[in-house]
Amino acid sequence: MRLRRFAYAVMVSSWAPDARERLETAALDLFVENGYEETTVAQIADRAGLNRATFFRHFADKREVLFGGEDVLAGLFGDAIRAASPDATLTGCLQAALVAADVAMNPQQRAKAAQRVLVAAANSEVQERGLLKHARIARSISAALRERGADEITARLGAELGMLAFSIAVERWMGSDDDEPFVVHAAAALRELNTRAAQLDSRSRR
Amino acid sequence: MRLRRFAYAVMVSSWAPDARERLETAALDLFVENGYEETTVAQIADRAGLNRATFFRHFADKREVLFGGEDVLAGLFGDAIRAASPDATLTGCLQAALVAADVAMNPQQRAKAAQRVLVAAANSEVQERGLLKHARIARSISAALRERGADEITARLGAELGMLAFSIAVERWMGSDDDEPFVVHAAAALRELNTRAAQLDSRSRR
C-alpha cells in the first residue's frame, strides 16, 4: 500500500500538469477500493501527491470531486445550443449539444464513469449530488433554448429530452463491448425518444 | 415563544391523531422561522409536543420530514397508471396519474409547498433530497408504464413528461391567486407539453 502510494506519487509528481485531474483519479480509485464513506479528503490528496489545501482549492467538498465533468458538460451543452444554426429545430439543437459533449466522452472518462456508477450505487448522498448536477446541466440547456427564443415550456421540455437522451446514451456507451463513440449512441437515443414523443397519443402498450 | 409553544402543544395534544403530520407542520414552521440549518430535530419534536424518538420513528433524518408527501405521490401515480384502461394512450396514463395526485393537493398542502420552496431555496442539501424524491416518483411512473408493456425508452420518456407536467402544474397552482384546483393546472400543463412534443422537428424559435 505504502509502496503503491509512493509509486503513484512519483508517477504524478510535480511535473504532472493537472492537479484537478489527479485528485479526481485518486478519489475515484480510493472510493472504489475502500468505500466512499471511509475515504477522507486527506487520503485523496495524499494519493494524488498533493495536500488538503490544494484539494479545497479545486473542490468544495468530498462529493464534488466526483462531478467536475458535469460543470464542463453544462458549458458544452449551452454553448453548442447557442451556436446552432438559427433555423435549427429543437431536435437539431439537442443533437448539436450531444455532439459537443463527445469531446468529453473519451475512454478515460468512460472508465471514470463506470467507477462513479459503483460509488453512487453504494451511497445515496452521492446520488443526490449527481441529481443536483444533472438538474444544473438541464438548466443550462433550457437557458440556452430560451435565449434562442423558445418559450418556457418548450425550453424545459427540450432540457428534459436532452438529458434523457444523454443519460440513455451514457448507459449504452458504458455498457457496450464495442468502441462505438459516444456520439453514435447519443444520436440513436435522441432518435428513439423523438419517435416516441411523436406518438404520445398512441396506445401505451406495444 | 414559550407561550406559543405551549399553546401549540395543547392544540395538538395527545388526542391529535397524526404525529407524522404534526411533525411535518412543526418542522416547516421552524425552518421558515429560524432557518433549516439552525433547527434541530429536538426542537421540531418539542414544537409538535412529541419527543425525538417519535420523530425518528417517522423520519430517517431532518431532511426527510420535508418530503413525506413525495412517497405518497409515488404510490398514487403508480397505482393510477396501473389502473388505467388497457387502451389508454401514454398521455392518458399520465393524465390519470395527475388526476390521482389531486387528492394530495389540498389547500394545506399548497401552504406547505410554498413553505418548502422557501426552505429549499436557502439550502442546497434540501434541494438535493428533493431531487432524489423527484427521481423516485419518476421511477414509480416508469415502472408502472413498463408493467403495462411499454418499452424502456417509452417508459422513461413518460416518466420525464409526467414529472415535468407535475412540476409545472405545482408551480402554477402555488403561484395562482384563484382557487383553481390542481388538476386543472395539471391537465393544461400536460396538454401544452404534448403539443410541443409533437413539434420537436419544427424550428426552435417561435
- Distance separating alpha carbons of residues A42 and A50, to the nearest angstrom: 9
Q: What percent of chain B has pLDDT above 70?
A: 90
Residue A10 has pLDDT above 90, yes or no: no
The pLDDT of residue A14: 43
Q: Where are the alpha helices (DSSP H) in A48-151?
A: 52-58, 68-83, 90-101, 107-121, 124-147
Helix (H) or strand (E) holding A161: helix A152-175
Kindly state the cell numbers that stand for A149: 427564443
The pLDDT of residue B1: 43
Looking at the complex, report in whole angstroms how far the Cα of residue A107 sits from the nearest Cα belonging to chain B: 26
Task: Determine contact, residues A28/A67, Cβ cutoff 8 Å.
Answer: no
- Distance separating alpha carbons of residues A163 and A138, to the nearest angstrom: 6
Instruction: Test B200 with A192 for CB contact under 8 angstroms.
Output: no
- Residue B45 main-chain phi, psi, to 5 deg: -60, -45
The pLDDT of residue A128: 87
- Distance separating alpha carbons of residues B100 and B107, to the nearest angstrom: 16
- As beta bridge partners, residue A89 has B203
What distance, in Å, lies between the first and last C-alpha atoms of chain A? 54
Q: Which residues of A touch B88 (CB under 8 A)?
A: 203-204
- Distance separating alpha carbons of residues A175 and B40, to the nearest angstrom: 44
Q: Which of B130, B146, B154 is nearest to B65 (CA)?
A: B130
Task: Determine contact, residues B157/A191, Cβ cutoff 8 Å.
Answer: no
What is the tens place of the pLDDT at every residue in B147-172? 999 999 999 999 999 999 999 999 99
Integer CA distances (angstroms), A184 to A27, A96, A109, B53, B174, in order = 30, 13, 16, 54, 42
Task: Determine contact, residues B124/A166, Cβ cutoff 8 Å.
Answer: no
Instruction: Test B90 with A204 for CB contact under 8 angstroms.
Output: yes
Kindly state the cell numbers that stand for B31: 425552518
The secondary structure of B119-134 as a DSSP string is: HHHT-HHHHHHHHHHH
Looking at the complex, report in whole angstroms how far the Cα of residue A149 sits from the nearest Cα belonging to chain B: 5
Average pLDDT, chain A: 88
Q: Which residues of B touch A124 (CB under 8 A)?
A: 132
Burial B183-198 (b: 16+ CB within 10 A, else e): bebbeebbebbbebbe
Of A88, A194, A205, the CB nearest to B204: A88
User: What residues in chain B have their Cβ under 8 A from chain A's Cβ atoms?
Assistant: 86-93, 124, 127-129, 131-132, 134-135, 145, 148-151, 153-154, 156-158, 160-161, 164, 168, 189, 192-194, 196-206
DSSP-derived secondary structure letter, B203: B
Integer CA distances (angstroms), A190 to A138, A178, A198, in order = 15, 20, 12
Instruction: Test A164 with B157 for CB contact under 8 angstroms.
Output: yes
What is the reported pTM?
0.84
| ipTM exceeds 0.85 | no
Q: Choose the weakest-confidence range: A166-175, A185-194, A195-204, B176-185.
A: A195-204
Instruction: Test A128 with B124 for CB contact under 8 angstroms.
Output: no
The secondary structure of A124-140 as a DSSP string is: HHHHHHHHHHHHHHHHH
What is the tens place of the pLDDT at every residue in B61-105? 999 999 877 888 999 999 999 999 999 999 999 999 999 999 888
Task: Determine contact, residues A132/B128, Cβ cutoff 8 Å.
Answer: yes
Of B91, B127, B158, the CB nearest to A132: B127
**Cell 464542463 appears where?**
A72
The pLDDT of residue A68: 79
Residue A30 has pLDDT above 80, yes or no: yes
Average pLDDT, chain B: 88
Task: Determine contact, residues B96/B86, Cβ cutoff 8 Å.
Answer: no
- Distance separating alpha carbons of residues B159 and B162, to the nearest angstrom: 5
Rg from Cα positions in chain A: 19
Residue A43 has pLDDT above 50, yes or no: yes
- Distance separating alpha carbons of residues A86 and A147, to the nearest angstrom: 11
Per the model's pLDDT, the better-predicted residue between B128 and A79 turns out to be A79
Q: Which of A139, A145, A157 is nearest to A93 (CA)?
A: A145
**Cell 449530488 appears where?**
A129
- As beta bridge partners, residue B203 has A89
**Cell 417517522 appears where?**
B58
Residue B5 has pLDDT above 70, yes or no: no
Task: Determine contact, residues B30/B55, Cβ cutoff 8 Å.
Answer: no
What one-letter code names the amino acid at B69? G
